[in-house]
Amino acid sequence: MPFEGLTGRLQDAFSGLRKKGKVTEADVKDVMREVRLALLEADVNYKVVRNFVKTVREKSLGEEVLGSLNGGQQVVKIVNDELTELMGGEQEKIIFAEPGQGPTVYMMTGLQGAGKTTTAGKLANYLRKYEKKKPMMVAADIYRPAAIDQLQTVGRDLDIPVFSMGDQVSPVEIAKRGLEEAIADNRDVVIIDTAGRLHIDEKLMDELEDVKAAVNPHEIFLVVDAMTGQDAVNVADSFNEHLNITSVILTKLDGDTRGGAALSIRSVTNKPIKFTGTGEKLDALEPFYPDRMANRILGMGDILTLIERAQQEVDEERAEEMAAKMRENRYDFNDFIEQMDQMQNMGPLEDIIKMIPGMNNLPGMDNFEVDPKDMAHMKAIVMSMTKEERENPDLLSQKRRRRIAKGSARDIAEVNRLIKQFKQSKEMMGKMSNGKMGGMEKMLGK
């Protein structure tokens, strides 16, 4: 999980303070010492840490905090606000060409391995899905072996066209011709994948500057790997100096990054993070919201992202139909499978659960993991049922259960357990929707 260490340490630092009524100057000092260490340990740039701590300390020593009855909570709020500010404050939207001004042109830049090619595909996919654009990708990385093939594969997977001229033509020429092709083909967004190197070198920068001059991009996205911490910040600083990038896309935020890059890049480069990559799949790209990220870092959950993800996956009409089925006790194994698929599409279950406020603080949550294999096994069992059995689980006699166990290569005990759990939850849903909240209250321990 990203930010795990940082979140834990900040929560420890605030745990005493939160309970306090009046906060003294010494309390603020103590807590800020802890915050400072936590940020440094998370690999946040030391200058950024210094300014951050100074600002929070000044604000926390103001009259309102020291004099108030819930001073502890106010300090946490100040930290939250300043973390949000540090990452840019308001969410910044991507820039498009003015209507009638031809296609929007984006240049993808970054070091090799940062996730540039994958992110070009994710971005094209995102723009098609959420902005109703018709993107085209251009393969202008002629140095890395297989980079062109990789982009073409991504394009095929997404069914989005990729323009390429092989690796014997200069990137400037490819970018120019790609743009012409996009205009001819009525495409409204052109995403140019450029070359990366293992390290920054002048020749590469010169070439990228030439591409920039040739196609005049609306955005130059710098793709950086969040896992590389301070290095990511240095890379961003250099690219920015040479190319004057417009924004940053931070990849691999699904890994256990300590947080340094996310927290430092904005204030070091003065360029906003616009998206984060949260997985290897081509739909694992999310707009970056500084306030939501601050909440997540402080372990306060990110309920808005959770709701948005659910909305993307669940069709409203279908959700109502499902609710009616539960109410009328018609919920069956087909619905079960459908909901399980929706959950899986929302991302790893343990990540989703941690977006619920408070969940991060529960004991044992650190090591909470849902084994995707368990989900796959459950699915295999249900898929081995006949249509009639799925619709009417009462048909599931011992004989049929043995057949299902064989068909899904699972134990009979596992089949029995799943059916039992299904029946129990169905019973509970029935009770809840009939207004008898007994089941739910029992579950919540009331």
Closest CB to ligand GDP among 125 and 278? 278
112 binds ligand GDP (CB under 6 A): yes
Binding residue for ligand GDP (CB under 6 A) from 12, 64, 131, 280?
A: 280
Closest distance of CB 426 from ligand GDP, Å: 37
Pairing of strands 219-225, 247-251: parallel
Closest distance of CB 119 from ligand GDP, Å: 6
Instruction: Say whether 54 counts as a known binding-site residue.
Output: no
**Backbone phi, psi, residue 399, to 5°:** -60, -45
Instruction: Say whether 430 counts as a known binding-site residue.
Output: no
Q: Which stretch binds ligand GDP (CB under 6 A): 4-12, 206-214, 275-283, 333-341?
A: 275-283
Binding residue for ligand GDP (CB under 6 A) from 113, 358, 372, 438?
A: 113
274 binds ligand GDP (CB under 6 A): no
Instruction: Say whether 390 counts as a known binding-site residue.
Output: no
196 binds ligand GDP (CB under 6 A): yes
Binding residue for ligand GDP (CB under 6 A) from 251, 257, 264, 408?
A: 251
Instruction: Say whether 253 counts as a known binding-site residue.
Output: yes
348 binds ligand GDP (CB under 6 A): no
**Backbone phi, psi, residue 301, to 5°:** 75, 175
**How many Cβ atoms from other residues are within 10 Å of residue 229's Cβ?**
20
Q: Please, what is the angle between helix 230-243 and helix 260-269, to 10°? A: 30
254 binds ligand GDP (CB under 6 A): yes
Instruction: Say whether 21 counts as a known binding-site residue.
Output: no
278 binds ligand GDP (CB under 6 A): yes
- Please, which contacts does 130-133 make with residues 24 or more away whose CB atoms are closer than 8 Å? 131/96, 133/104, 133/188, 133/189
In whole angstroms, how large is the CA radius of gyration of the chain?
26
**Backbone phi, psi, residue 244, to 5°:** 50, 65
Task: Give the count of residues interacting with ligand GDP (CB under 6 A).
Answer: 18
Closest distance of CB 120 from ligand GDP, Å: 8
Helix (H) or strand (E) holding 397, with range, is none
Count Cβ neighbours within 10 Å for each residue of 51-75 and write b for 16 or more, e otherwise: ebbeebbebbbeeebbeeeebbbbb
Instruction: Say whether 112 counts as a known binding-site residue.
Output: yes
Tell me how far the alpha carbon of residue 253 is from its chain's centroid.
7
| Furthest CA-CA distance within the chain | 75
Q: Edge-to-edge strand order for the sheet containing 273-277?
A: 162-163, 135-139, 189-193, 104-109, 219-225, 247-251, 273-277, 285-287
Output the residue with the shortest Cβ distance to ligand GDP: 277
Binding residue for ligand GDP (CB under 6 A) from 57, 252, 271, 426?
A: 252
Q: Which stretch binds ligand GDP (CB under 6 A): 92-100, 105-113, 309-317, 356-364?
A: 105-113
**Backbone phi, psi, residue 251, to 5°:** -95, 170
Q: Which residues fall in the annotated binding site?
A: 110-117, 193-197, 251-254
Q: Which residues are annotated as a binding site for GTP?
A: 110-117, 193-197, 251-254
Residues that bind ligand GDP (CB under 6 A): 110, 112-118, 196, 251-252, 254-255, 277-280, 284
